Structure 1
């Protein structure tokens, strides 16, 4: 969603006139954030499709928005393509089952399509994981994705990915991908979002933060694949706390919006790690998601920011740019093969700890915590000239290069 939203102001200057087809917000259960509409040019055509209401489908165990809206997308876009001419279809979503419709529209209307691999679609990552660490309904989704991904990849005309690792997997799995244009393009950064947040700051609350603490904030998904990064963070903090409780007891960690589950039903995956280390009173986890612009408000009002990375080297953090743009002290714990780690390193945007090197990581984390409590000079030293390469304007231009290749 964010890639297209942030790119909409720049497609036309690169020769592409966009039309958006998306699910009407009444049919999904994500946190609604009307401020997002302020970043979308008023003249953009937006078509809304229906979906089967979850209150009905959940009775048979079906909650996936992709599956609930699949029939409606097919019917609506079929009619749209009969009435209007389009040169390209661009799937930019993590509701990947919808991408299988690309082969149908290419066959019926001879329109090429591109898939944006924002995450792995069919993945073997969880196959050797304990059942408790697998996503909900993993048995079904694993088999569905294994069936649908080949259908989509057999006819796809181009692939954009946030990670080179995802493309390597697809090339290995589908040799025909070698013959089509592909590009690694991270999510774009948007200064406009920060401007919108600033203009509405009086209405954006941060109730979890307290005035008498040093508030270190992470907003984003949790998950068992973040355990290694969380352990590194909490072990370093525990050591510092034991050495100097007078200094480090003022630190509080906040992990917000860590579950995709409906409100009030998410399971904590970060706080239990703190419990095992004995630092429960210093760590707060709220599993419920919060609106995007409320996220920006938390980043702007924090004393420091934490980003936990996955042990999966292909993982990239879509949230990385708002963290950098907040110009707050930033600690990122990543697999150094992650594109997010590359961005932080190239832009000198924060302290970067290697998830695969305990000694290096503990030293980096400890130094960061020392600087936070001592209030030493750890203000943003970001190289903004390098950072401009990741702007929405620059990355939209890269997308359009691939669009041109796919239709040529």
Structure 2
């Protein structure tokens, strides 16, 4: 059986989407004659935790750990709430305090590529012995945080071992990168490190065709698209919400804030008495203040429920019972290739998906291909109103359903088989 060392930062009890991808890959790799060995930090700073995921760690997986120093812990002395939100990706664009601006400048310019950089050198030294002891043939690094890829880069230089670099998100082209108040020197350093990783790794894995095309302009190394996926049994006996619920599950970052949708909902609340009585916008997860302000501005707040963070299992149940599942992405060129992991769980939930995102968004094409719902750009208010009203009328007569199909290739086991072939 081939041994593979996986180097990751996020692992249970971490919550959020970052942990799901490799938790599931590791669960199924043995089915394809690959034995995973895991390396993770011993004392990480996880802004979101989901202890229920600890039960999903497969038995017998050997895990190596080494302590990590993270500046977020020191910054938390001054403002734990602000540092947690920044480390979660919730970067406010309005009314930033001096402290927030200072945190962002320090985060962007002193901690390159990110605040986990201090784990790189100790990990390289530690893993040299692990690789020899375990007779590891291949290492895989998964980021963000992209400092994890620098561990792979160091091991590649020292041992010339086969190295696969997995990018769950892009590096310098991801939306929040521009918000880090980077100096020109810092921008160049990020670009240089990105290029070194992409040109030194033997193979690269990405989660979208858009990211693959971006990276192809930087490297000639082979790039494979392996998306995220779903790993749940589809339940047919889940009781749907009695109200017409439109639910967004996951973090609503600053920028994921479509005025066009809020306007459409606001007008429907004014124009349709039944809609006002029966509609509920449900937000599950961390929501930025900017989004909350706009929801209030458009007078949707009285029909909005802020659910807060749920465990992964509870989030899955929430998806299945919701009348409509909402998916929002930032309206920018950089985000058209972002395919959130929850998309595939939405597909498996078999509820209509309402997407709002940038032009040529890959998710929009995915929704169309699977016949799972409708996706709109940020200038489609009337079309949004039309589809929401259509679905509401179907809900009134108990005929609102999803006919999503051809989703089996996105199951976690099928994707792990794809990964195994790549290995």
TM score, norm. by length of structure 2: 0.76
Distance 2:76 2:408 in 1: 44
Partner of 2:40: 22
Provide the C-alpha distance between the structure 2 equivalents of 1:336 and 1:316, rounded to a whole number of angstroms: 14
> What is the CA-CA distance between 1:95 and the residue it aligns to?
0.7
Aligned: 1:84 with 2:134: yes
Question: C-alpha separation between the residues in 1 aligned to 2:163 and 2:365?
Answer: 29
In 1, Cα distance between the equivalents of 2:260 and 2:224? 33
Give the alignment partner of residue 216 of structure 2, picking from 137, 159, 171: 171
- Cα distance in 2 between the residues matched to 1:49 and 1:303: 45
Question: 1:219: Cα distance to partner?
Answer: 1.6
Q: What is the CA–CA distance in structure 2 between the aligned matches of 1:256 and 1:34, rounded to whole Å? A: 17
Classify 1:338/1:399 alpha carbon distance in 2 versus 1 (closer, same or farther; 3 Å): farther
For residues 135-174 of structure 1, what are the structure 2 equivalents within 5 Å?
Answer: 142=187, 145-172=190-217, 174=218
Deviations 1:193-232 (A, max 9, x none): x79xx9xx9xxxxxxx9x88543221212234323xx323
Question: Alignment partner for residue 232 of structure 2, among 181, 191, 200?
Answer: 191
Q: Which of 233, 236, 245 is residue 215 of structure 1 equivalent to?
A: 245
Q: Which residue number in structure 2 is paired with residue 399 of structure 1? A: 419
Task: For residue 226 of structure 1, give the secondary structure of its aligned residue in structure 2.
Answer: coil
Residue deviations 1:240-283 (CA, integer Å, cap 9, x gap): 22211233333121223235xxxxxxx42322222332323223
Distance 1:118 1:141, change over 3 A: farther
1:52 aligns to 2:93 (yes or no) = no
Secondary structure of 2:350's match? coil
Aligned counterpart, 1:42: 59
Does the 8 A contact of 1:218 with 1:256 survive in 2?
yes
Report the CA distance shift for 1:58/1:73 in structure 2 as closer, same or farther (over 3 A). Answer: farther
> Cα distance 1:356–1:8, how it changes in 2: closer, same or farther (>3 A)?
farther
Q: Which residue of 2 aligns with 1:271?
A: 292
Distance change >3 Å, CA 390–CA 356, structure 1 → 2: farther
Alpha-carbon separation, structure 2, partners of 1:56 and 1:340: 38
The match for 2:390 is: 367
Q: Aligned-pair distance for 1:190?
A: 0.4
Determine if contact 2:264/2:382 at 8 Å carries over to the other structure: no
Listed one character per residue, the Cα deviations across residues 339-378 of structure 1 (whole Å, up to 9, x for unaligned) are 3333322222233334464544443333234434x24411
* Helix, strand or coil at the partner of 2:327: strand
CA contact (8 A) 2:142 2:148 kept: no
Which of 348-357 and 15-24 deviates more? 348-357
Alignment partner, residue 234 of structure 1: 262
Q: What SS does the corresponding residue of 2:404 show, helix, strand or coil?
A: coil
* Alpha-carbon distance in 2 for matches of 1:234, 1:375: 25
Q: Select which of 344, 347, 350 maps to 2:370.
A: 347
Q: What residue in structure 2 maps to residue 317 of structure 1?
A: 340
Equivalent positions of 1:93-112 (< 5 A) are: 93-112=143-162
Spell out the pairing of 1:328-343 with structure 2 (5 A cutoff).
328-335=351-358, 337-343=360-366
Instruction: Give the 3 Å change call, closer, same or farther, for CA 90–375 of structure 1 in structure 2.
Output: farther
Residue equivalent to 2:313: 293
- Equivalent pair of 2:250/2:286 in contact (CA under 8 Å): yes
The runs of 5 or more residues in structure 1 that have no matched partner are 202-208, 260-266, 404-408
**Residues 79 and 289 of structure 1, relative CA distance in 2, 3 Å threshold:** farther
Deviates more, 1:57-66 or 1:44-53: 57-66
CA drift of 1:15 comes to 3.4
